[in-house]
A = this chain, B = another copy of it.
Amino acid sequence: MALDNDWFTEIHAGAGTAFSLKGKKVHEEQTPFQKIAIYETETFGNLMIIDDCTMVSDRDNFTYHEMMTHPALYTLDNPTDVLVIGGGDCGTLKEVLKHDTVNRAVQVEIDERVTRLAEQYFPDLCSSNNDSRAELLFEDAIKWIKEAPAESLDLIIVDSTDPIGPAEGLFSKPFYEDCMKALRPGGIVIQQSESPLLHMHLLKDMHHAMRSANFTDVKTIQFPVVIYPSGWWSATMARKDKNIEGYREKEAQNKKFETRYYSADMHKAAFVMPVFFKKELG
């Protein structure tokens, strides 16, 4: 079957696969950092595209945003200071701010236009941007984290684009060493880590780089993200001075906010990785 002009198609570099959504382009611009487009789709609501890759849709973003935040936040005993790197659509920030323990959530996005377009096309994701605990900065996070005071953060969430272009430096040992320094003892960095089926090489490199930056424990969780390559996604967390074990289960069970994917049971389930994945990591 052939797709006509009413479809957006992302061809997944090197994977021999492609994913398409039916819709019409309603905006496109070139920023100093990247090309951003917005589509109104027939069945997934609004869709943001960066450099021809799907970033976020109204319909399915809940799996990604919930799993990038709540598993790490409930693993920590009392997370007060959180940094979001990238995350310009503000959906991750919104989930972080659902936690009462959080006093300060700083979002460092390199491209202000991502957030300005999210405010316009994804107002729901931006609905917590005026929370007094939120701080939205538009600068280079690699520089920011290098200059961050030592042991000032409980959680760093790396919600970036793929490891090509502006995000490349976020998948490297020097960056993880800077995270290590900025984290309090027991602190966690969690990073989106692509598809277990398609990007096992990247996952192996990431585990290796995080361990060589002296993190005590590194673990990957899996969850579906329908608009990303293969629909099967992961995030990898590394913890300073402590194993990634246990979580505030009772508090997760009795949480006062709504979720659509995450639950206390899903917390545990997401850490169970396939047999081949464990084998590949040795």
Residues of A whose CB lies within 8 Å of any CB of B are 1-3, 7, 9-11, 15-23, 41-44, 52, 59-60, 62-63, 197, 222, 224, 226, 230-232, 259-263, 265-266, 268-270, 272, 274-276
Contact = CB atoms under 8 A, between A and B. Distances in A.
A80 to B, nearest CB: 26
A261 B259 CA distance: 27
A7 B18 contact: yes
5 contacts: A16-B41, A224-B224, A260-B275, A261-B276, A266-B272
Nearest to A278: B263
Given A230-B226, A260-B274, A44 B20 contact: no
Contacts of A266: 272, 274-275
A16 B43 CA distance: 6
Contacts of A275: 259-263, 266
A160 to B, nearest CB: 21
A19 B17 contact: yes
Nearest to A42: B16
A90 to B, nearest CB: 21
A152 to B, nearest CB: 33
A256 to B, nearest CB: 14
A200 to B, nearest CB: 12
A197 B197 CA distance: 20
B16 A19 contact: no
Contacts of A19: 17-20
A260 B276 contact: yes
Contact of A226 (B2, B232, B262): B232
Contact of A272 (B15, B224, B269): B269
Contacts of A269: 268-270, 272
Nearest to A230: B226
Contacts of A261: 274-276
A232 B195 CA distance: 13
* CB-based closest 7 A-B pairs: A231-B231, A16-B43, A269-B269, A269-B272, A18-B20, A224-B232, A16-B42
Nearest to A17: B21
Contact of A197 (B15, B22, B226, B230): B226
A11 B21 contact: no
Contacts of A9: 1-3, 18, 20
Contacts of A260: 274-276
